[in-house]
Chains A and B, each alone.
Chain A
Amino acid sequence: MNRYRTFLMICGGTGCSAGGGGGKLKDALETELKDRGIQDEFKVVMTCCNGFCGEGPIMKVNPDGIFYKGLKPENMATIAEEHLYKGKPVERHLYQAPGRPGKVPLMKDIPYFNLQVSRVMRNKGLIDPEKIEEYIARDGYQAAAKALTSMSPEEIIKTVKDSGLRGRGGANFPTGLKWELCAGAPSDEKYILCNGDEGDPGVFIDRTIMESDPHAVIEGMIIGAKAINAKKGYLYVRIEYFMAVSRMQLAIKEARENGLLGRDILGTGFDFDMEVFETPGAFVCGESTALMLTVEGKRGMPRPTPPNSVVKGLFGKPSVLNNVQTFANVPQIILNGADWFKEHGVEGSTGSRVFALTGSVNNAGLLEVPMGETLNRIVNEIGGGVKRGRKFKAIHLGGPSGGYLPEKFLDTPLTFEGMEEIGVMVGSGGVVVMDDLNCMVHAAKSVLEFTVFESCGKCPPCRIGSQVLMDIYNDITEGRGKMEDLDLIEELSDEMIKTSLCGLGQCAPKPVLTSLKYFREEYESHINEGWCKAGECRELVTFYIDEETCKGCGACKRVCPVEAITGEKKKPHLINQETCIKCRACLETCKFGSILAGPASMREELLNKKAVEA
């Protein structure tokens, strides 16, 4: 076997691969190594996702721990020559913390990594997800072996219950209790299902886990199957997650070949097998009853409970459904015990969990932190603060079923109950940072668009209610709003929460209500002043240039797609109101804050002024 001096760990996650990294990077690097005749000293490895997707494509140089970011295949020549051949890391591709001087060459020194914990994502950037041996080498399937050989179903359930693990999907139901209820339901046939359909926009946690550590999911399901005595499992993955689908399928095949799935697993007499169920993807299928109906080949619509799925689920049999992250937590709990899991987190919200941090933030990506951590730490310390130094406005937490939080809640601990108290939910773990360029009315409207599109259509409150809310928002953002509409939004939202059949309809008004509750002044300025101060609602804004601060740099002129901006160099520029399409490109570009967003009525004034001048 070849012994290598150094391992070059190229991230093979979806984010990095899509950004021109992954395979292309690997090919380029290998060519460069060969050209220099040093290919036998270096092993190029495609690893699973590191989670720091915002800085991708990424490569680590082990064992030194040098961390390269934002790589392109054409950079490989320099790295091979300067670093790998001559031994001097290439400064240009090293990480630099936003707003701070100096490069940070080592991964362990980068706050994004060293402020996280590594449990569910403990294998990130380390193993090749397409090789079962690498998972096994990192204690993989030890927990399954322990559960199958030396634990009774009751003991498994007790351990999971003691750990306090709660579902990492939307509803956060205690996992051990769910298993216990299903184990207690009498039936000769039971099913275990894993939801990898992850429907929240901007969230890619389950997808990444399936792509990075597929065997952890399988192992979790095997342990769950033993706990409830299921013989068959389904992994529900949306079809457009093609890498997740193929890696899970490969992993299942490998597990089967190694006697970890199928008949008589590890010689224990326990039979369990599973398959990937590729779904066309629908947000409503996050509801267990709807999800199970689609596995049966029926239309995905929730049904009323009781009977709950644990009693009457897939094909009418008792079934357990957990999401990917939940199952991925299980092996470590079984292996290390409930107390180990509880080292992190707080009472009622134990363990760690992964968040997907996106939006106006410097370090976008996946990060794992203990439950009970504050948003402040996630956004400002790990996330490196708001992008381009803009002013923080809100966090959108928990996706379309969550809500908006203003700055005052940044130090509230992220616990399930704590978040519910202030009107949002941890939900699927999406954290979207919003800055002063985001209009909160517009933001709520965008989420509503999603709900309207994803409503299954079964019950009137959700089917028609969300559409009516959408109509009201269209009115407000297009200048037809009335103050009474705000009461109507609250009333209708309240009725939707009370009368909708499933979580989709019951949670759909949450973003609306929180945006109205915490940012009411924005609604009022839309309605009363005809003014969207963030400049997102085109009908309610007029862009103009502050002559006093404009330096005449011409940056705005260059980005304007309709050539509405005129002006000589170093003299204040002017926006032609007749041609301006309010795309906001100038506002986002101007470094001096000279582009201003005025109320809609200003346009008329400016046009009149121009006419008088002429």
Chain B
Amino acid sequence: MIELTINGKKVKAPPESTILDAARKSGIYIPHLCYDRRLVPYGGCRLCLVEVEGSSKLLTSCSTPVRDGMVVQTETEKLAKARKSVLELLLVHHPLDCPVCDKAGECELQDLAFKYGAAEGRFKRQRSHGPDYLDAPLVVRDPNRCVLCGICVRLCTEYQGVGAINLIGRGFKTMVSPAFGETLDCEFCGQCIDACPVGALSSKPIRYGTRVWMMEHKETICPYCGCGCTLTLGVREGRVERSVGKEGKGISNGDLCGKGRFGFDFIYSKQRLTTPMIRRNGELEPVGWEEALAFTAEKLSRIKETHGPGSIGAIGSESAPKTVEDSYMLQKFMRETVGTGNIDSAARFGYAKAQGAVKQAFGLDALPIDFHSPLESEAILVVESDISSSHPVFALRILEAAREKGAKLMVMEPRMTKLSRHAHEWLRNRPGSSVAVLNAMMNTMLDEGLYDKGASNVRNFAELQKGLADSTPEKAEALTGVPAERIKEAARDFAKAGRRLLCLTMGESENSKGANTVLAAANLLILAGSGPEALQIPAEFSNSMGMFEAGVRPDADGGLDAMAMIYDDGSPIKAMYIMGEDLLTAFPRTSEVEARLKGLEFLVVQDIRLTETAKLADVVLPAASWAEKEGTCVGATGIPQRAVKCVPATGESLPDWKIFIELAKLMGKGLGVEDMAGVRAEVERNVKLRFETSGAAPAFNPVAYGDGETTDADYPMSMVTGVLLQHSGSLTTFSNSLCSVVSDAYIQVNVDDASRMKLSDDAFVKLSSRRGEVFLKARVTDEVPEGMIFAPAHFPHARVNALTSPSTNGGHSIVAVRVESAG
């Protein structure tokens, strides 16, 4: 540690830190506009100047490294004068429109002008240097307010890895702008808005909406992906106005993606359910709670009597509108009141596959991720996963590791994703072929003796050797399209790295991987000598692990899973209770799902909104949403986090757990709890919410690469489904903000394929598979390789899942499709 003196106070700081770092750590405020903790020092704003003994010049504290015995002054007359001058200059063209600026109240420039008294400057020559207002989805730019600190540009380029904006022009005419002054077209993460020290960038949805000081700020957990970022919600008069990331809060430490920052408005969707509804004469009609619950209780009781409890099934949900408490009460209701273990969720097509494979490979029940693990790795291998879209903030750690920590980033991926663009080594394989590449990498390691010696003692080592004998890189090249030499190189780099990491996702909508991919990945890691902590498979949603542990999964002995309940011809299910899942959007083979649901005697859907599935229900029960109730969430990190009630519930909606208490009473078998305290006590007693990776018992599980559905002359293309940055799960499609960026379903088609099929960009196409057909728009791009179609599966109206089919053999479930112009 280095010891220095700042303003007479002895301060200690690590050797690599700057004066500003040291000051911030010891609570000494030095003014700044262009500093951001996530970026390399810029030294542009000239406000963090300090006096250092022995230096005649004023030094920028953001860039000057600390030295032993350094004596620093941060507030002197000389500095105050210099800062005042700089501020006066900034105010030469910065409009004093604070009364109508959204940033007022938390504006750095406003505060500094107040502190140093620079409002009416000596240099005042009123002028503007750009248009007042530039429009784009979600982000509004007021160039005249811009102080050109460059944080937005650097954050976008260096930190987010996007580079949608830059400084253009020079001198007084410099402006922040997309290339050629075009309309902003970016990820719309909004990181720049939070980081902008002034009001030059603001959030469009709340423009002129509220003053900062009128909001009360509450911290809660993001309802979307498994990252579990902490949102600071600005609440005014019972309404969530905004969501921002704050430094030092939660695992995300101030980083958010577009979903976390803008996607909260789904709670104000016009489709929110406000009263219970019962189907009468084919139409859903609003009724009171009493009637709805009585009707439901009676129906369920009758079916239970007639067909037995085994004829009733339930589907739960992984994302934060449904908490651990809700999930716990759903399964408790089903198991205790109804008496059945037929409980499952959409995780069957995603997280459950990974969970099963992890159990097989390491003997662990669950495998949480370590959010900061990329930063400690020397080599990171990403396997066919667009983590920047599925888990955007976790992916920032991967980018940071590759950019700043010297980690070698290898990405196996057919699509041009953000990670593949930033990869040191992009192994562009054919869709779904990652098992073949992984096997060939292991073949090389075995061949060249690059495996951990301890691995030969791991169970099934001989089988692995035998199984991989034929998986040579040369054969893999033919199967995957990745040159053999590059596979070998990747194997060597990965095997030789001191600390390695393998990341992949297993989302319910992702069809290019299966349980076998996880097994192959685990084999590779065990062979290289790594334990389960090197395998990072972030669970998909904000409560995936919580839901699973709360018991929303079929009974080990005889409970039916989603496959058996929905797709089995001999399914005994007569009634279903669906909590917070839109089966008709999220489940594959939609037509079969629809037929099954329509054929039920009784269908209850308990949700926050009228989903496609709810439209088929006999009873619809309105649930209170995220931010409208208390609860616990366990996302990918395995850390239980509290979701906080910030606003009153919409209409008559009730928290899910409460609905089960009432319903159970009406069915004559109460659940023994009355309130949140009771539920929480039970959860604490019965649900294991701490996950450990110790005690792993690794075993090799050799898997062979299977081809999956074959393409032929009728269905010549391979369709990969997955998530988008703005949309994952159908919840996002109820957010106006997110839909203002992407609202329409589309597929991506390769440029060459498109020209062969004479498809223009935005052409309307018919997409058909062996199971059905849908109509949507085609976007022509070079982001997907020839022969591949990429389709986001989250738009309820597009019904892309009408074409898909779940995998039953552990392989991928890529679909063979045909694209025809339907213009």
Contacts and interface: CB of A to CB of B under 8 A. Distances in A.
Contacts of B92: 464, 467-468
B673 to A, nearest CB: 60
Given A459-B46, A468-B125, A488-B122, A304 B60 contact: yes
Contact of B169 (A454, A457, A458, A466): A457
Nearest to A484: B122
Contacts of B46: 459-461, 499-501
B301 interface: no
A270 B49 CA distance: 45
Contacts of B86: 460-461, 495, 499
A499 to B, nearest CB: 5
Contacts of B43: 303-304, 459, 501
Which of A460, A461, A495 gathers most chain B CB within 10 Å? A460
Contacts of A468: 89, 92, 123, 125
Interface stretch (B170-178, B680-688, B705-713, B718-726): B170-178
Interface in B45-64: 45-46, 49, 57-58, 60, 62-64
B212 interface: no
A304 B46 CA distance: 10
A460 B122 contact: no
A178 to B, nearest CB: 19
A500 B45 CA distance: 9
B85 interface: yes
B464 interface: no
Contact of A453 (B44, B64, B171): B171
B719 to A, nearest CB: 37
Interface residues of A, number: 33
Nearest to A495: B85
Nearest to A454: B171
Given A492-B85, A498-B82, A499-B85, A299 B166 contact: yes
Given A460-B89, A499-B58, A501-B46, A299 B167 contact: yes
By size class, the interface of chain B is: 35 or more
Contacts of A306: 63-65
Interface string A505-539: 00000000000000000000000000000000000
Nearest to B58: A498
Interface in A465-521: 465-468, 471, 488, 491-492, 495, 498-501
Contacts of B63: 303-306
Contact of A464 (B93, B122, B170): B93
Interface string A296-319: 000101011110000000000000
Contacts of A499: 46, 49, 58, 82, 85-86
A326 interface: no
A608 to B, nearest CB: 35
B-side interface mostly = loop
B170 A491 contact: no
A12 to B, nearest CB: 35
Given A468-B123, A499-B46, A457 B64 contact: no
A37 to B, nearest CB: 60
Contacts of A303: 41-43, 63
B501 interface: no
B320 interface: no
Contacts of B65: 306
A488 B167 CA distance: 30
Contacts of B148: 457-458, 460, 463
Contact of A471 (B41, B90, B125): B125
B150 interface: yes
A488 B170 CA distance: 25
A306 B89 CA distance: 26
Interface in A268-323: 282, 284, 299, 301, 303-306
Nearest to A494: B85
A303 B82 CA distance: 20
A467 B172 contact: yes
Which of A457, A466, A492, A501 gathers most chain B CB within 10 Å? A457
A576 B125 CA distance: 37
A456 B166 CA distance: 13
Contacts of B123: 464-465, 468, 488, 492
B476 interface: no
Contacts of B171: 452-457, 463, 466-467
B147 interface: yes
Interface in B580-628: none
Nearest to A305: B63
Given A303-B42, A500-B46, A465 B170 contact: no
A491 B147 contact: no
Nearest to B83: A499
B32 to A, nearest CB: 13
Which of B44, B89, B93, B174 gathers most chain A CB within 10 Å? B89
Nearest to B91: A464
B44 A458 contact: yes
A463 B62 CA distance: 20
Given A304-B62, A304-B64, 6 more contacts: A299-B166, A306-B63, A306-B64, A492-B122, A498-B57, A498-B82
Interface of B: 41-46, 49, 57-58, 60, 62-65, 81-82, 85-86, 89-90, 92-93, 122-123, 125, 147-148, 150, 166-167, 169-174
Nearest 4 interchain pairs by C-beta: A304-B43, A457-B174, A304-B63, A455-B171
29 contacts: A303-B42, A303-B63, A304-B41, A304-B60, A452-B171, A453-B171, A455-B172, A456-B170, A457-B171, A458-B148, A458-B150, A460-B86, A460-B148, A461-B86, A461-B89, A463-B148, A464-B123, A464-B172, A466-B171, A468-B92, A468-B123, A471-B125, A488-B123, A492-B123, A495-B81, A498-B57, A498-B82, A499-B86, A501-B43
